Amino acid sequence: MFNFQIEKESGMARTGTLTTPHGKIKTPGFVPVATRGALKGMSFRDAKSIGADVFMVNTFHFYCKKEYEIVEKMGGLHGFLNTDYPLMTDSGGFQVFSLGTGYGQDVGKLPRKNQKKLSPLKKKNAHFFKGRGGVKIEEEKVIFKSPFDGSRVEITPESSIKAQMKLGADIIFAFDECTSPLESYDYQKKSLKKTNRWAEKSLETLQNKKQRMMGIVQGGRFEDLRKESARFISSLPFFGFGIGGSFGESFGDSKENMNFILELLSKELPSDKPRHLLGIGEPEDIIEGALRGVDLFDCVIPTRFARHGAVLTSKGRINIKSSRYREDNTPLDENCSCDICLKHKKSYLHHLARKKEIYGIMLLTYHNLYFIFNLMEKIRKAIERDSLEQFREGFFKSYKMF
Amino acid sequence: MFNFQIEKESGMARTGTLTTPHGKIKTPGFVPVATRGALKGMSFRDAKSIGADVFMVNTFHFYCKKEYEIVEKMGGLHGFLNTDYPLMTDSGGFQVFSLGTGYGQDVGKLPRKNQKKLSPLKKKNAHFFKGRGGVKIEEEKVIFKSPFDGSRVEITPESSIKAQMKLGADIIFAFDECTSPLESYDYQKKSLKKTNRWAEKSLETLQNKKQRMMGIVQGGRFEDLRKESARFISSLPFFGFGIGGSFGESFGDSKENMNFILELLSKELPSDKPRHLLGIGEPEDIIEGALRGVDLFDCVIPTRFARHGAVLTSKGRINIKSSRYREDNTPLDENCSCDICLKHKKSYLHHLARKKEIYGIMLLTYHNLYFIFNLMEKIRKAIERDSLEQFREGFFKSYKMF
């Protein structure tokens, strides 16, 4: 029922098919995030029609109030959401990190003081060991205040996996400690030991044949720790690998560092198992990741961007709320053939976004996801033709970064 | 291009077809409200697929910042929204009333103190002549503070119609003073004179053949004033009639009073022109209105209800956020065959509504509009079979009011 088949290799990059009991996933593939069991502004069916073949649900959001119990009673996520598509759940590790440092915006009612972005200097000291945001990482568990109701919540590898078993997604993730790329070597080293121990416990806990687990590689920006992590995690019978940690500038790290680590891992991880780069990313990150052998990406960016009026286009990201689009009668992206670009002018989408109309969110979500799935298809085709490097060059010629 | 054809009469009730340059509207019909040019949570196309054949856009929301100028440049509402469906715009009269009394919730950033519901006693004195909410009704215009940015805004019959001409909807409305049903006889009488004068000015202002105007009948709860209004308005060359004023309990009035006035008007208004009951209503109001010869209804109820978790069902209104639905695996309405009822359990919709998920709003909006359009179809069929009274009886047997 579960299988991962590589179809074409081209340098570090590869295309493949990941088979689950609920259907096949083409790789490199993008996994849209349905945090609470729904995309924010689009049906699974519509997402499927533009290329989505798997969705990620966040365990954390069903964990804090034990809502996974209700989901289980309703037939697991597939029954609860009434969907036949392949589903994934993450383990909650990222949300715990997010809660601790206050970076993430996806944990709801986080107290305002924790939501502020920390300055680069402060980030260095911003690890949750010090109890930031009420998060305490112990040897066998994490303890924190629920961002939803302030109650005390504990997560252990066992409890995360048990929750994920009740949710019943096809692909689940081991519980890890997600670290900041700015953590010290000593911290990362100690943390990695814990993540490795938790990986074993996570695997031991999964007691069914309907789900497969991905182990998570950590180790921050340190070459030897990433290698150590890859070797340890790949020595365990995981179905595939999540590449964890927080990359990129919003975490005070450089994208070059991410690329370096992905190259390293492409050698260290067994090539016949799928590699999922967790929480990434922007179009440029996805291309760089695919070039370095990443098979799966999940990210809230296309959907979250849409809620803020940020639009992915072949010329780069634009913000449709900008007054320059007030009377613009061109589509969002001249090179896009999605329903929104075929039908609507920027002026209308500007108006809807400025007025915070729900329908505006729906239209931009559709376009942004279409953009990403179209990108994934182009990436797969480029790999098939051994021309991903050239595709990358062409892409960046028109796509402006900022 | 414009035409209204009555097809079947049954008592005061009738079915018909209203033809516009953008298509035909079956009557009795329901007009969903796309306040700012979009339904809140659904595409026009999806609404069309479940029975919508015309949409109402609120002039007020394009008026305060002169955004109708942009809409005109973009090809009018049909061009701006890129739709071929028949459209209506109202004149802004209701929003001015709403702003003055603080009843309405649809004018956005109204200062908090004006948003509070007034107690029944206070309502009596709550007319905007006293400058409530900064609204001043003069003989030739209304003056108020924009709820969007606090700037001073004036509306005259001429300026409302000119804005509506720029918006370019098929059916537009005369500018009137919308009064509270609790106003005194003297106030209503004076107000009616103004509304009548404004009706003439509105008609004079419309200088194109692409649009048709509905005159508005006012007169509060007073028989002689309603008669006077109907006679005067029907003496002018309007395409049809809006029945104005604020009915129902939320305005401190009884539903019996609305029925009484509708019966009165069914005799007073020429039977060959369409009658649109403005801003109404709930399923029960629609049935009562259709029984008394109303051809068109517009209301935010199905869409606004959806945003608050209120669901229209054959057994009455329920609130899906109630904890009783947390583990309920039945559909919203056992007797409904909409996509949402065929596909989703209450438990999932409860979860989405509780978590304020956009997708929850989308699903409930779809269901509520489906419920109303299905009701309209049943009403039309019942009229064709001379059995609307029996339909009404059957409906209320299962539909619980509260």
**Helices A346-354 and A358-384: crossing angle, nearest 10°?**
130
| Residue B385 within a domain | yes
Q: Does A28 touch chain B (CB under 8 A)?
A: no
Phi-psi region of B76 (alpha: psi -120 to 50; beta: other; left: phi over 0): left
CA distances from residue A396 to A75, A315, A399 in whole angstroms, order as listed: 45, 9, 5
| Residue B100 within a domain | yes
Q: Are residues B97 and B168 in the same domain?
A: yes
Token representation of residue B172: 């537009």
CB contact under 8 A, A351 and B37: yes
Which of A81, A343, A358 is nearest residue B358 as measured by Cβ atoms?
A358
Q: Are residues B87 and B183 in the same domain?
A: yes
With beta carbons less than 8 A apart as the criterion, state whether B300 and B61 touch: no
Q: Are residues B40 and B125 in the same domain?
A: yes
pLDDT in tens, chain B (402 residues): 999 999 999 999 999 999 999 999 999 999 999 999 999 999 999 999 999 999 999 999 999 999 999 999 999 999 999 999 999 999 998 888 888 765 443 333 333 333 334 334 344 444 433 445 678 999 999 999 999 988 999 999 999 999 999 999 999 999 999 988 888 899 999 999 999 999 999 999 999 999 999 999 999 989 999 999 999 999 999 999 999 987 766 566 677 889 999 999 999 999 999 999 999 999 999 999 999 999 999 999 999 999 999 999 999 999 999 999 999 999 999 999 999 999 999 999 999 999 999 999 999 999 999 999 999 999 999 999 999 999 999 999 999 876
With beta carbons less than 8 A apart as the criterion, state whether B83 and B57 touch: no
> pLDDT at position B102, please?
53
What is the C-alpha separation between B174 and B151, in angstroms, rounded?
24
Question: What single DSSP character describes residue B344?
Answer: -
| Residue B271 within a domain | no
Q: Does A184 touch chain B (CB under 8 A)?
A: no
ipTM of the complex: 0.92
Burial of B334 (0-12, 13-18, 19+ CB in 10 A): exposed
Q: Are residues A321 and A275 in the same domain?
A: no
Q: Are residues B311 and B390 in the same domain?
A: yes
CB contact under 8 A, A351 and B39: no
What is the C-alpha separation between A42 and A40, in angstroms, rounded?
6
Q: Are residues B171 and B32 in the same domain?
A: yes
Q: Which of B194, B222, B254 is the last residue of a domain?
A: B254
What is the C-alpha separation between B272 and B265, in angstroms, rounded?
13
Q: Are residues A147 and A233 in the same domain?
A: yes
Name the domain count of chain B. Answer: 2
Among A262, A267, A306, CA closest to A280: A262
CB contact under 8 A, B358 and A362: yes
Q: Are residues B88 and B229 in the same domain?
A: yes
Dihedral pair phi/psi, residue B175, rounded to 5°: -85, 130
Identify the residue among A58, A148, A346, A359 best suited for mutation to test binding to B, counting B beta carbons within 10 A and taking the highest: A359
> pLDDT at position A180, please?
83
Q: List the domain range (segments joined by +) for residue B344.
A: 306-398
- What is the C-alpha radius of gyration for chain A, rounded to an integer number of angstroms? 20
Express each pLDDT in B258-271 by its tens digit. Answer: 999 999 999 999 99
Token representation of residue B287: 């049935």
Express each pLDDT in B12-48 by its tens digit. Answer: 999 999 999 999 999 999 999 999 999 999 999 999 9
| Residue B96 within a domain | yes
With beta carbons less than 8 A apart as the criterion, state whether B210 and B127 touch: no
Which of B73, B347, B358 is nearest residue A361 as measured by Cβ atoms?
B358
Contacts with A, B 302-321, CB within 8 Å: none
pLDDT band at A110 (very low <50, low <70, confident <90, very high): very low
Q: Are residues B187 and B312 in the same domain?
A: no
Residues 6+ apart with CB under 8 A from A247: A181, A253, A255, A257, A258, A261, A280, A281, A285
